């Protein structure tokens, strides 16, 4: 079936991405609008079938760096491997017209498809997004989900509730305190964080109670931690998390993750993506301090393919991040 270059509204694009087996929130129009507030310019390329319905596409994020413009396609393109031969020439042409010196893609495909990308002239590159994750099947009942957890996880969830840890949906007024915990987490665990306005914009754009939520855990009125969850199509994704140093023995991270899973399930999501685990993580490891090693390894483990970029480029990848 021949495919042709087409333009689609944000609503049409999002409907296509949400329903595609390789769709992802990072390819949504909302994510493009969000990143546009923080130094990136979104650019979409889409192909339609003979009936005018979208069949394949890619949302690129363009950024002007000190030496050149780069193009980045996070968790895209939204396409089957068989469609790359038709889609990529249009993507390359759009990137070149925008002045990009290379194109970096990180598709939302499971498994290693490096051979497919090498055949299209790409090289394997360092990843920006997590290369491995855990995806929880939410079609099970809550009782089934709890039953499949390790006994220690069930105990810690119940311990948090028994000791008086309360999880609630945050308002914008909670953001300064949550960001303070984010700073604590970054220092303690040794990773960089964005400026406060980045998370404020994410909250305003996504956390409307349906597309996303910020859940915070409290004890005796003190905020202990919080997780920001996005919901898109059939999937909920744990995007950002933070926790303090106080009352860690009360297991607030376990309470937060269980509340997030329940929130996602209540909104009809079929999957919960824990958004990144160390590839070497073992079954017995519980959450890290920000909750980022989240649940049982016996759940579906998704290993995304390596990041790939299209040469030529003399711009080191270290000059830019997602």
DSSP code string of 144-175: HHHHHS-HHHHHHHHHHHHTT-EEEE--GGGH
Radius of gyration of the chain (CA): 20
Query: Does residue 274 contact residue 134 with C-beta atoms inside 8 Å?
Result: yes
Give the pLDDT means over successive 10-residue stretches in the chain (322 positions): 82 97 96 97 95 94 90 93 90 91 86 78 79 89 92 95 97 98 94 95 94 97 97 96 95 97 96 78 44 37 45 34 30
Tell whether 41 and 85 lie within a shared domain.
yes
What total of structural domains would you count in the chain? Answer: 2
Output the pLDDT for position 278.
60
Same domain for 218 and 246, yes or no, is: yes
Q: Which residues contact 221 (CB under 8 A, 6 or more apart)?
A: none
96 DSSP 8-state letter: H
pLDDT value of position 235: 96
- Give the pLDDT of residue 128: 82
| pLDDT recorded at residue 215 | 98
151 with 209, same domain: the answer is yes
Are 88 and 154 in a shared domain?
no
pLDDT at 309: 54
Q: Quote the tokens at residue 194.
A: 């964005």
Same domain for 103 and 83, yes or no, is: yes
Rounded alpha-carbon distances, angstroms, from residue 209 to 14, 41, 204, 242, 255: 18, 27, 11, 19, 19
Which CATH number covers residue 168?
Answer: 3.40.630.30
E-assigned strands of the chain?
4-6, 41-48, 54-64, 69-74, 100-106, 123-125, 132-137, 166-169, 212-219, 222-232, 235-243, 271-273, 300-303, 307-310
pLDDT for position 285: 44
* Contact by Cβ (8 Å): 85, 92: no
- Identify whether residues 158 and 279 lie together within a single domain: yes
Q: Specify whether 109 is located in the same domain as 87.
A: yes
Q: Within this chain, do residues 193 and 79 fall inside the same structural domain, yes or no?
A: no
48 and 141 housed in the same domain: no
Distance of CA 93 to the CA centre of its chain: 27
In the chain, helix, strand, coil percent, each to 5? Answer: 35, 25, 40
Task: Reply yes or no: is the peptide bond before residue 77 cis, omega within 30 of 0.
Answer: yes
Distance CA 194, CA 197 (A): 8
Which residues partner with 63 through β-bridges?
A: 70
In angstroms, rounded to a whole number, what is the distance separating the alpha carbons of residues 113 and 21?
Answer: 16
Kindly provide the residue ranges of all beta strands, DSSP E only, lying in 79-119, ordered along the sequence: 100-106
- If asked whether residues 172 and 245 sit together in one domain, one would say yes
pLDDT of residue 125: 77
Range of the domain at 261: 133-303
Q: What's residue 29's pLDDT? A: 97
The predicted structure's pLDDT at residue 241: 96
181/240 same-domain check: yes
Residues 78 and 165 in one domain: no
């Amino acid at each position: 079936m021949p495919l042709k270059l087409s333009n689609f509204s944000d609503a049409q694009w999002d409907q296509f991405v949400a329903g595609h087996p390789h769709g992802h929130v990072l390819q949504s129009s909302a994510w493009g609008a969000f990143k546009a507030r923080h130094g990136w310019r979104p650019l979409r390329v889409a192909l339609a079938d003979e009936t005018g319905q979208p069949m394949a596409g890619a949302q690129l994020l363009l950024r002007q760096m000190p030496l050149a413009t780069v193009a980045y396609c996070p968790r895209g393109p939204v396409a089957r491997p068989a469609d790359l031969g038709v889609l990529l020439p249009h993507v390359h042409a759009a990137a070149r017209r925008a002045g990009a010196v290379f194109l970096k893609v990180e598709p939302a495909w499971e498994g290693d498809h490096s051979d497919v990308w090498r055949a299209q002239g790409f090289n394997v590159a360092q990843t920006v997004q997590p290369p491995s994750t855990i995806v929880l099947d939410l079609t099970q009942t809550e009782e089934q989900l709890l039953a499949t957890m390790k006994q220690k996880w069930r105990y810690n969830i119940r311990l948090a509730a028994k000791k008086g840890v309360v999880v609630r949906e945050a308002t914008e007024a909670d953001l300064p305190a949550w960001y303070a915990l984010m700073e604590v987490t970054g220092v303690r665990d040794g990773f960089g964080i964005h400026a406060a306005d980045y998370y404020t914009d994410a909250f305003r754009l996504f956390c409307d109670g349906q597309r996303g939520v910020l859940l915070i855990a409290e004890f005796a009125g003190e905020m202990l931690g919080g997780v920001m969850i996005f919901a898109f199509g059939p999937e909920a994704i744990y995007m950002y998390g933070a926790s303090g140093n106080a009352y860690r023995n009360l297991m607030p991270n376990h309470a937060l993750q269980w509340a997030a899973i329940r929130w996602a399930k209540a909104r009809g999501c079929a999957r919960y993506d824990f958004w990144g685990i160390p590839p070497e993580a073992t079954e017995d490891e519980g959450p890290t301090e920000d909750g980022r090693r989240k649940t049982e390894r016996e759940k579906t483990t998704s290993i995304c393919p390596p990041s790939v970029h299209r040469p030529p480029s003399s711009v080191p990848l270290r000059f830019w991040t997602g």
